[in-house]
A and B are shown apart, each in its own frame.
Chain A
Amino acid sequence: MSDFFSSQNIIWFKCLSLAHIFIFFLFTLDLISYSVSYSDVVRPYFILICIYFWSIYRPSLLLPVYVFILGILFDFLLNYPIGLHAILFVVVQWIIRDQRLFFLGQPYVIVWMGFALTCFSVMLSEWMFFTILSDNVFDFYGVLYGTLISTLIFPMITLLFNLIYRILPPISQSHFL
């Protein structure tokens, strides 16, 4: 019992909590109002960056149940049809996690381009869903601008994630994840 509450485990627990707090913070950045012109269209997809990055480098940090809950909350808080983003996020996590060995062996630029493709695919899926649903062709520039801004901000976010990744406990030694 004393092993479980060792100082090492407590430090690792704090590190994991820091990772989760940062993920939650980025999640809220997708929801809040910036009161800036065109922020509804030109807005980074922060939560997608989280799902993509951790699905490659630490899949156990963002379990499917966690991704599902984030998707449901996203739909609840942004007034989307409930379940839409839960589906998209779970599918993205599933595909990226299955391809993680490929990405782990690639240079950073390929990982970056992989994110651009993932982001475009997700936003295109949203665009197609709403276009079919409302029988109205939505402005496609939103998809392009959203993908572009998310791709541009990806290195900055991954830089911070890398710092967190370095302090996380090795999976083999962690009691938590």
Chain B
Amino acid sequence: MKSSIKQKSVSYSASLALLNGRAGSVFFLFLAVGFLIIAFARPAVLSGPRVGVTDVFMPVLSTISKPFQNMAAAVSGISGKATLKAENAKLHAENARLREWYQTALMLQAENQSLKKLLNLKVSTEHEYVTARVVSDAGNAFVKTLLVASGGNDGVKKNQAVLAGEGMIGRIVEVGNNASRILLLTDINSRIPVIIEGSNQKAILTGDNSQYPVLKHLPKDSGLVAGTRIITSGDGGIFPFGLPVGKVIIDGKGQKIIQPYADMNRITYVRIVDALSNPNLIRGDLSYSIN
């Protein structure tokens, strides 16, 4: 009995030495290179396993991220108390201004409804949301994605638009059963068809991994000024029309860049907007653009 255990122990040690030695490193290095080649040559082959792994790890990541997010919320709450007085005065002023806007909005809504009736325009006025908690984000400056703890089981679908706070933050690119991945609009691979409010000029909002995406395919005489609102155009039929995206700001070099309405670094919860059955019918619905 003892000799058989000893033999097993020797063979175990031999295989361990092989795995632990240079041979093991060389083998796994070649295997990793093979994976990388497949990832570029046939990315679809690995997308299924990626979703599966994300689904499996979701409960662990969700559990571990919760205390950190609670801590961040608590710290934010404490630092918020210090500026509470000044913020209160600011909110009072803002509230007074918003009351005036509310009256204007009611008037416009009534006018809009009557015009829609006159035109007999068939519009989709209601969108459903799925609210999801962010559990993981990209570890560095190269990939801008988020993982949320809602997936196909909760009705999330690929290419749905995602909002946080005051505006759009990106779209769903991968859906598992219990997890989904959001490609942020600041990611270098992100392209969002947008429209410049007021001028109806169309452009493509392109991420460059910085905090401020840029507008492409825009004529030079577009007349963009700081503060101009950018909303989704709905072109391509992927996103609804009118989701607020951001506003134009002028950087230090005088270039016009877009500041997203949502703070990409401090997202805890997101709203995933349901896809529309016929996106061509929703032009004219500005229900999301009221800020």
Contact = CB atoms under 8 A, between A and B. Distances in A.
A and B found bound together: yes
A64 interface: yes
Interface stretch (A10-18, A36-44, A106-114, A158-166): A36-44
A87 B29 contact: yes
B9 interface: yes
B35 interface: yes
Interface in A37-67: 37-41, 43, 45, 59-60, 63-65, 67
A62 to B, nearest CB: 10
A138 B267 CA distance: 23
A67 B138 contact: no
Contacts of B29: 87, 90-91, 94
B32 A32 contact: no
Given A43-B139, A82-B36, A60 B16 contact: yes
Contacts, number: 171
Given A32-B135, A73-B53, A93-B25, A40 B61 contact: no
Given A30-B139, A43-B139, A64 B24 contact: yes
A123 B140 contact: yes
Contacts of B49: 76
A32 B265 contact: no
Contacts of B235: none
A43 to B, nearest CB: 6
Contacts of B136: 31-33, 77-78
Interface in B1-54: 1, 5, 9, 16, 19-20, 22, 24-25, 27-29, 31-40, 46, 49-50, 53-54
Interface residues of A, number: 58
Contact of A94 (B19, B22, B137, B268): B22
B134 interface: yes
B210 interface: yes
Given A34-B69, A90-B25, A130 B32 contact: no
Contact of A65 (B28, B72, B145, B209): B28
A33 B32 CA distance: 27
B57 interface: yes
Given A3-B5, A35-B72, A87 B36 contact: yes
B119 interface: no
Given A40-B138, A138-B142, A77 B28 contact: no
A97 to B, nearest CB: 8
A87 to B, nearest CB: 4
B64 A29 contact: yes
A77 to B, nearest CB: 6
Nearest to A79: B145
Given A86-B35, A94-B29, A130 B142 contact: yes
Contacts of A71: 32
B5 A1 contact: yes
B32 A87 contact: yes
Contacts of B22: 94
A78 B137 CA distance: 7
Contacts of A31: 57, 61, 136, 139
A28 interface: yes
Contacts of B142: 80, 126-127, 130, 138, 142
Given A37-B263, A72-B35, A94-B29, A59 B9 contact: no
12 contacts: A4-B5, A32-B64, A32-B65, A40-B144, A45-B139, A60-B16, A64-B27, A68-B32, A86-B31, A87-B29, A97-B25, A123-B140
* 8 smallest beta-carbon distances between A and B, as pairs: A83-B36, A83-B35, A142-B141, A86-B32, A32-B65, A68-B28, A64-B24, A94-B25
Interface of B: 1, 5, 9, 16, 19-20, 22, 24-25, 27-29, 31-40, 46, 49-50, 53-54, 57, 60-61, 64-65, 68-69, 72-73, 134-147, 181, 188, 208-210, 263, 265-268
